[in-house]
Amino acid sequence: MDDKDPSILRHLRDVQPQLWWLDEDPLEPASHSALIGDTTADLCVVGAGYSGLWTALLAKERDPSRDVVVVEQRETGAGASGRNGGFCSASLTHGFGNGMARFPKEMATIERLGRENLDAIEATIARYGIECDFERTGEIRVAVAPWQLAGLRDEVAARNRMGDDVEYLDADEVRSRIHSPTFLGALYDPDGTALVDPARLVWGLERACISLGVRIYEGTKADRLEDGGDHLVVHTTYGTVRAHRVALATNVFPSLVRSARKYVAPVYDYTLVTEPLTSEQLASIGWAGREGMSDAGFQFHYYRLTSDNSILWGGYDTVYNYGGRVRLEYEVRAETYAKLAAHFLTTFPQLEGVRFTHAWGGAIDTCSRFSPFWGRAFGGRAAYVLGFTGLGVASTRFGAAVMLDLLDGVDSELTALTMVRRKPLPFPPEPLKYLFIRLTQWSIDRADRNDGRRNAWLRLMDRLGLGFDS
């Protein structure tokens, strides 16, 4: 469908530039005061998204006597954690195919650790009574072009050999569940993904942290780290934290460890949400299993039902802005909304006339291997985890557990993994970074239109282990 067609654009007439998850939610916690003056801690965590809050929570669970402080420049969940699609996936490697391409020998272990991680998230949500609409409904990845079918079949076989339990659905089987004329087949993973309300998850983690005695300061930006001898000094907006250990969970924002910055590119991803579907509209698409959905192109959409049966529809058209800055103005992109709306109506033509009510964007911390990496600084007294590349709702818990092991000097099954020991290849400096990403995006778009055939540039990138994804 043409994304300039006025019949598409009228579906966007009433869209508000707002996060659906934040719409007058009674579960939003009260804000926390900023840190004024100096304080001390055993562990200071910088950033109150999932990575930071899981780090604080796991630190307290491992050792309740540990004094833990979190400093957040804005408010809890202000970054990607409060604005994502809520796909809480067992994958630690941004999908099985990407993991296999990079860590083939360890993939069986990584997949098992990923499933254990998702189980542990479910258990934590139950233990602390976190109300985040957790539904372990699984995920369906659909082929929308014939060339995608073989890859899905191969993945089903390979994953089941490694202990996963996934299924191939042919066109009739997938269309009988969710009615779209574009679906040609699918990979169904009944257990490897849960859906959550992402903002409620981050707020619930915040409450759980506070219940264990973690102190959280909002409106408190960490400006720099200083070596104070037997401790580190975190210099903040109006004060300092003197801490034995510092965990940096700052995602796309400039890392306090400068050498980490070259590995990450902030890439903007956009999402639309419809008005709640009527029972007739819902019946017209089926979807009784409420699975998380995505498609199998190199550029992919992700979509799901919300608690009030609106459809969240995002992905596909991701944007890297020259210079790699994180800016409020990048969070709105009308041309992407039009493209997303057109793709939505191609997928669900029976929903012609439905209104989109919410639209927003957010930055993803893309790295060249599309999966998290870790690093240490100040002789191991500071550590960071970054690079989740659009799949961090669940893997941030794993990222936090590894970061704590690194800070505590623990040699574990986790810290022995190649993905933990090795970093991705860095992106080149600007203007090469911009050119590299744009050329790669252009090539990916061509591959999607060209029956999946990767051009010479993408094949070279594959050989070098470099890439770009969202």
Interface with ligand FAD, residue 240, by CB under 6 A = no
324 contacts 433 by C-beta, under 8 angstroms: yes
Which residue in the set 43, 110, 149, 222 belongs to the binding site for ligand FAD (CB under 6 A)?
222
Of 45, 461, 1, 424, whose CA–CA distance to 214 is shortest? 45
Is there a cis peptide before residue 426, judged by omega within 30 degrees of 0?
no
Encoded tokens for 235? 């210099």
DSSP 8-state symbol, 430: T
CB of 96 or CB of 168, closer to ligand FAD: 96
Of the candidate spans 20-28, 43-51, 164-172, 405-413, the one that interacts with ligand FAD by CB under 6 A turns out to be 43-51
Which residue in the set 35, 45, 55, 79 belongs to the binding site for ligand FAD (CB under 6 A)?
79
Task: Specify the DSSP element, H or E, that contains 466.
Answer: none
Q: How far is the CB of 171 from ligand FAD (least distance, A)?
A: 26
CB of 281 or CB of 306, closer to ligand FAD: 306
Q: How far is the CB of 154 from ligand FAD (least distance, A)?
A: 23
Task: Specify the DSSP element, H or E, that contains 400.
Answer: helix 395-408
Number of residues that bind ligand FAD (CB under 6 A): 40
Q: Which residues pair with 181 in a beta bridge?
A: none
Interface with ligand FAD, residue 372, by CB under 6 A = no
Interface with ligand FAD, residue 20, by CB under 6 A = no
Interface with ligand FAD, residue 253, by CB under 6 A = yes
Encoded tokens for 60? 């307290």
Q: Which residues pair with 271 in a beta bridge?
A: 314, 360
Interface with ligand FAD, residue 392, by CB under 6 A = yes
Site string (153-182) toward ligand FAD, x via CB under 6 A? ------------------------------
Interface with ligand FAD, residue 393, by CB under 6 A = yes
Interface with ligand FAD, residue 364, by CB under 6 A = yes
The values of phi and psi at residue 371, to 5°, are -150, 155
Site for ligand FAD in 257-296 (CB under 6 A): 269, 271
Q: How many residues does the chain have?
A: 470
SS3 208: helix
Distance, CA of 156 to CA of 124 (rounded, Å): 29
Q: How far is the CB of 8 from ligand FAD (least distance, A)?
A: 21
DSSP of 158-198, one letter per residue? HHHHTT---EEEEHHHHHHHB--TT--EEEEESSSEEE--H
Q: Which residues pair with 385 in a beta bridge?
A: 374
Q: How far is the CB of 391 from ligand FAD (least distance, A)?
A: 4
Of 329, 330, 335, whose CA–CA distance to 316 is shortest? 335
Distance, CA of 96 to CA of 111 (rounded, Å): 8
Which residue in the set 396, 440, 441, 443 belongs to the binding site for ligand FAD (CB under 6 A)?
396
Of the candidate spans 140-148, 180-188, 337-345, 388-396, the one that interacts with ligand FAD by CB under 6 A turns out to be 388-396
Which residue in the set 60, 66, 83, 333 belongs to the binding site for ligand FAD (CB under 6 A)?
83
Interface with ligand FAD, residue 192, by CB under 6 A = no
Going by their DSSP bridges, the two strands 382-386 and 238-248 should be labelled as: parallel
50 contacts 202 by C-beta, under 8 angstroms: yes
Site for ligand FAD in 323-352 (CB under 6 A): none
Q: How far is the CB of 193 from ligand FAD (least distance, A)?
A: 9
Distance, CA of 138 to CA of 12 (rounded, Å): 30
Interface with ligand FAD, residue 46, by CB under 6 A = yes
CB of 94 or CB of 231, closer to ligand FAD: 94
Residue type, 392: G
Which residue in the set 209, 249, 265, 345 belongs to the binding site for ligand FAD (CB under 6 A)?
249
Which residue in the set 78, 100, 171, 210 belongs to the binding site for ligand FAD (CB under 6 A)?
78
Site for ligand FAD in 424-463 (CB under 6 A): none
Distance, CA of 421 to CA of 386 (rounded, Å): 14
The site for ligand FAD (CB under 6 A) is made up of 46-52, 71-74, 78-81, 83-87, 89, 221-222, 249-251, 253, 269, 271, 302, 314, 362-364, 388, 390-393, 396
